Amino acid sequence: MTSKNSKTRPGVNHNILNNPEQVKTVQNNVFAAASNGKLFRIKKYLQHYSRSEVKWLLTQEVDNTTPLIVACRNGYIDVVNYFIQHCGVDIEQVGSVTFDKETIEGAPPLWCAAAAGHYSTVEVLVKNGAMVNHTTFSNSTPLRAACFDGHYDIVKYLVSHGANIELANRHGHTCLMISCYKNHLAIVEYLLKLGADVNRRSVRGNTALHDCAESGSLDIMKLLLKNRAKMAEDAYGMSPIKAAAVAGHTNIVDYLVAKSDINVTLKEKIEALELSGAMFVDKKRDMQSALRYWNRAIDLRYADVSRVLHKKQVPPVEAYEYAKEAENAQELDSMICEPDEMRMQALLIRERILGPAHPDTTYYIRYRGAVYADSGNFHRCMMLWMYALKMQQESLEPLNPMTQSSLLSFAELFAYMVEQVNDPHSPSLTFLEVFTVYEKAAWELFRFAESKPVRPLCEKDTTGYNRVLTIVLHLLSLVIKRQCSATEEELTQFKQVTYKLVKRDFREKRGLPLLHMALSDTTSEVGKYPVCKFPDHTVASCLLECGANPNDTDIDDNISLHIAVRNLDLTTDPSESAEVIKTVKSLLHHGAHFDSVNSKGQTFLDLSQDIRSNIQVMKFTTLRCLASKLIVKHGIEYAGHIPKRLESFVALH
């Protein structure tokens, strides 16, 4: 456990701060005792401190939370009472807590107790003045926390003490919505009696009806409809009946299809039946049930001969092997002996109904590709994945997590195929196949750069950007491994893309240029499965050949030489050491400054003794370097007295 020490606070005896190590020990001991409900130990640890000192100690965080919060989280009522009554602790302090492996930031004590279902603790906190509507950083209230896990008695208690049932979290999800999603019928009934807004929409446009449809809560759906819930579409154009179909809840689909007094159009009913069939193909591998639902959809299409609802005709797709959707029962029946045609039918249906922006559309295309890869049919896999990637890049914002996942899957697949190159039964992987994905990954970075807002990047943007940047370098490494099979024209295109990447000067969040990343072992970490190993000297050479600046610096003023030479101390493999030395010489030949210093005043020679015996120092020492070192050594003012182009050169020394 790690604690955060704070500076002196008003009203705190300075003696408590005279021994920081002792204070840290007390903080950790008190926190551990509170975590285990050991009140007698807490009293023992705090007995020598004044009330003001105790109050201050109990505000200090250990592992991003406080003793009061962890006691409320675990329902240790005697500890909570002691902290409040005898220590005067701040009852509205916030911290981080974990529920179901998810970390909640900025959670107040009441929220923690309500979420964990500790009624007595909730009661004590409220009676001592805790704010019943105090939210977490994600704007979740204690009431919503109680609704999430179905703590009905706590829900009623909080409402009776002023909890607002309509306060939504940052996603616009209300207490009613989460109760519907979690299938807590009694709480839904209670909230509806209180007048909860049954048709309120979240940020993405879904209503409580969508939530119970996605969770399969038919009884709750009936209750909502009885309370005048309206069928509406969310931001993806999904109505509740289609949401139920996508989630695989045919009980709701069947109920709504059969109802004639509910505002569900004939088209929605047909599409819900078709989506249900697709679900049976991919989720349950039940072809007979899929045919049954698809036949029901066809029956509805032709039920009224005066206004037949024909399917929208779309151009055939190569990735689907030019499959077409069935138009009648005869065409459907002919597929029963052709499982692959059934699978393509499911993909076609999702793309037509859900559209390219819906997550399920590309998810199942990629899923089907992965199944083909597992059976050794890599060509079909790559065709489907490439189609999904094209769809994502055309319909989603740059760096969308689904696009990132597609690019990484390609890198992992290619790495596996490259490893199998000595296996006579392994599939062949062409340069063009890898280069095409590399080019699309680079385009994702260019798309992001062109759309980047003026404001600073948020954490999510930074994480996605760094991930794609790393994937690009792995794909670059894989392209290089297959360049022996490339034509001159293909190699030229490859160098052009790499040149554009280098000139755009993409940098990782720590300020590392691409060349630095190619020489860093941390670049190896890209996903769950290993792809390429870094440092990769072939990637570094390629970047240099395409114009990478060997004297570019990171935030610590390290140039590429500093990064490269550190790898000597990380390996005992002679062949790897030889590669490092070869890379160092290549950097020097491309103009890396021999005596450039970092922020600690170190040259690359200072970082490794082994490199000195392998480098001819005088060969790379120039008169300009010697003059620059003298200028820096004697503190001679040079800015404005020498040509501008030389000022940055002197600064390197």
User: What are the phi and psi torsion angles at 106 (to 5°)?
Assistant: 70, 35
DSSP letter string, 97-140: EEETTEEEEEE-HHHHHHHHT-HHHHHHHHHTT--TT---TT--
Residue with tokens 């024209």: 489
Q: Where are the alpha helices (DSSP H) in 216-286?
A: 218-226, 240-247, 250-258, 266-282
Domains and CATH numbers, the chain: 1-164 (1.25.40.20)
**DSSP state, 507?**
B
Evaluate the CA torsion angle 564, 568, 569, 572 in order and state its sign.
positive
Give how far the C-alpha of residue 476 lies from the chain's centroid of Cα atoms, to the nearest Å. 23
pLDDT of residue 634: 75
Q: For the chain, list residues with pLDDT below 50.
A: 1-14, 454-455
96: which 2 tokens? 């981080």
CA gyration radius, the chain: 32
**Among residues 68, 84, 60, which one has the least CA distance to residue 35?**
68
619 Rama class: left (phi>0) / alpha (psi -120 to 50) / beta: alpha
pLDDT of residue 368: 96
pLDDT of residue 617: 63
> What helix, strand, coil percent values describe the chain, rounded to 5?
60, 0, 40
pLDDT of residue 613: 65
pLDDT of residue 53: 87
Please say whether the beta carbons of 438 and 475 come within 8 A. Answer: yes
Residue with tokens 């049930």: 289
Whole-angstrom Cα distance, residue 474 to residue 527?
Answer: 11
pLDDT of residue 318: 94
Please say whether the beta carbons of 608 and 583 come within 8 A. Answer: no
Torsion, Cα 591 594 598 600, to 10 degrees, reads: 180
Q: What is the DSSP pairing of strand 102-107 with strand 95-99?
A: antiparallel
Q: How many residues are given for the chain? A: 653
For 14, counting Cβ atoms within 10 Å of its Cβ (0-12 exposed, 13-18 middle, 19+ buried), the class is: exposed
Whole-angstrom Cα distance, residue 239 to residue 509?
Answer: 41
**DSSP state, 14?**
G
**DSSP state, 428?**
P
68: which 2 tokens? 């009061």
**Among residues 560, 551, 475, which one has the least CA distance to residue 516?**
560
pLDDT of residue 572: 65
Exposure string for 283-313, b = 16+ CB within 10 A, e = fewer: eeeebebbbebbbbbbebbeeeeeeeeebee
pLDDT of residue 248: 95
pLDDT digits (tens, 9 = 90+) for 166-191: 999 999 999 999 999 999 999 999 99
Residue with tokens 């807004």: 197
pTM: 0.84
pLDDT of residue 7: 44
Residue with tokens 């107040």: 108
pLDDT of residue 397: 92
User: What are the phi and psi torsion angles at 464 (to 5°)?
Assistant: -65, -40
